[in-house]
Chain A
């Protein structure tokens, strides 16, 4: 941590004002502008640098989020919206909407199965890549991270092709005698969900690995040496010395992955198109359908979107709490 403004003002007070202010300072030399004016001008410059980005973030994030809250309390089609009667009727409807409950459950199944497997895999890979004796580090890292350079729609279509009934997965598995007859992967709820989870693992493990690897490289080597001197074996060193130092980054990755899974749309839309019978559809996909398919219902859609927002916030809070506890 540094304290940037303090040294700035120290230097300004020890040097003549006309010098610190450059050409503008020379212009007002006769007036001898007070030092606080320089500080104020710099502060204003700082705000001027910040405001364009901050204003856009408010306009495209906070403002719509507040709008969505009001929208979720309204009913009607298209632009003809009136306050709902009772006000929370959209939220009451959520609890009786079988498709909402199904898509939300499906999303949670993806979350609970995929995120832990991915984070463990990413951690194992990051530790292997961080081993001092490993050769061709760049090659391994690049190859494992490469799926992240592919778009979600692109990989969804490749996986759709590979897991088609007459696709590569069936051909390979029957050839090697693992399967007797081709499986209709995308036609059955269980296998279709499995394909989506496999796709997510393929696409995101390398991404999380990069963060873990960066964090591992920042770990103070002396703490590892100390553990070794004290006679800790490799696993103990990892568990008691490395892991506690990685906790913030694991927490960050867990929260980002949770957030991402709850908003998952592209795979559901392009890999399985929600089928069979909406059983692989994510809640964001359902939200899209309610918003922009058939007869759009913005009020109800906004209620769905707020349900997602609240669940994201609650899960993040839980993760932060659990993350803090182990200290």
Chain B
């Protein structure tokens, strides 16, 4: 009994170090947001009382509200559209499966391998020609349909019993109603996983918004952070508070949905 306990000590020690290293930079960020710039530089690791002052100077010097608004609109619109488009496509690839559809899926999956770098410039030119530079649609369109999400939903559909669909058809339900009213409610873990992935990706996306949102009036939160860095902001307390504000929503989304996320990923890997 004690020998097995002894053998487990290294494992717990290793995990503790891993957790410490994982959480420490986040702790430093949160604590620094409450300290003065001088205290941040002096590496103070205890919470301070300067949070309100940091917030006031941040709001006074940066268009935080507008950036927050743009980031929220982009992330929410992307997530909703992605869930609709990819869930229905993934469902159809499985439920109405045919040789032609399998071939289409195989081709779409190749897009996972296309680096964004290789499409960025033509994509910019495409939206520029359409007069969509600085528009929400240009920011979100490249993110709303991804082969990965379609795959996630197709895999999840594998375990959905076809008898239920047949029964619903016998009851006279249309194909869209079967999808929306019978299939979707059983897909909550997958929807959560797909939603978390898309929301986090959209909220944190940096390169594409930076390319397509030429006018800083439309800047998102990551762009605002990056511009603060480029502007050599010397108020490190405010800077860390800005980083904290950008990070809090994604942490909440993740923590709230992490159980579903884990289930969704597990389901997809099967």
Contacts and interface: CB of A to CB of B under 8 A. Distances in A.
B164 interface: no
A53 B150 contact: yes
B21 interface: yes
Interface stretch (B49-57, B58-66, B92-100): B92-100
A131 B85 contact: no
B119 A65 contact: yes
Contacts of B230: 273
A5 to B, nearest CB: 6
A306 B40 CA distance: 43
A152 B229 CA distance: 14
Interface stretch (A55-63, A111-119, A185-193): A55-63
A213 B269 CA distance: 10
A19 B166 contact: no
Q: How large is the interface on A (under 10, 10 to 19, 20 to 34, 35 or more residues)?
A: 35 or more
Contacts of B170: 15, 19-20
A52 B119 CA distance: 20
B117 interface: yes
A309 interface: yes
A93 B130 CA distance: 31
A292 B88 CA distance: 37
Interface string B1-29: 00010001001001100110111011011
Contacts of B270: 218
B76 to A, nearest CB: 16
Contacts of A8: 162, 165-166
Contacts of B88: 49, 52-53
Contact of A53 (B32, B86, B165, B200): B86
A142 interface: yes
Contacts, number: 284
Interface string A151-163: 1111101111110
A68 B141 contact: no
Contacts of B104: 50, 54
B73 interface: no
A311 B243 CA distance: 34
A125 B15 contact: yes
B194 interface: no
A94 interface: no
A2 interface: yes
Contacts of A155: 25
A265 interface: yes
B204 A64 contact: no
Interface in A20-77: 20-23, 42-43, 45-47, 49-50, 52-54, 56-57, 59-65, 67-68, 71
Contacts of A54: 89, 104, 108, 145
Interface stretch (A82-90, A167-175, A223-231): A167-175
Interface string A136-150: 000011111111111
A162 B96 contact: no
B262 interface: yes
Contacts of B188: none
Given A45-B175, A146-B251, A266 B207 contact: yes
Nearest to A79: B125
A157 B171 CA distance: 57
A46 B113 contact: no
Interface string B113-139: 111111111111110000000000000
Given A53-B150, A168-B28, A68 B119 contact: yes
Nearest to A149: B254
A313 B96 contact: no
B218 interface: no
A43 B172 CA distance: 18
B195 interface: no
Contacts of A145: 254, 258
B192 interface: no
A5 B4 CA distance: 53
Contact of B117 (A19, A134, A308): A308
Contact of B28 (A4, A162, A262): A162
Nearest to B201: A151
Interface of A: 2-5, 7-8, 11, 15, 19-23, 42-43, 45-47, 49-50, 52-54, 56-57, 59-65, 67-68, 71, 124-125, 128-129, 131, 133-134, 140-155, 157-162, 164, 166-168, 171-172, 202, 206, 210-211, 213-215, 217-218, 249, 259, 262-263, 265-266, 269-270, 273, 283-284, 287-288, 291-292, 298, 301-302, 304-306, 308-309, 312-313, 316
Given A149-B254, A313-B113, 10 more contacts: A5-B96, A50-B101, A53-B150, A54-B108, A60-B142, A168-B28, A266-B206, A270-B229, A273-B230, A284-B117
14 contacts: A15-B170, A19-B170, A47-B92, A50-B104, A57-B146, A128-B11, A131-B11, A142-B258, A144-B22, A150-B26, A151-B250, A210-B265, A214-B266, A218-B266
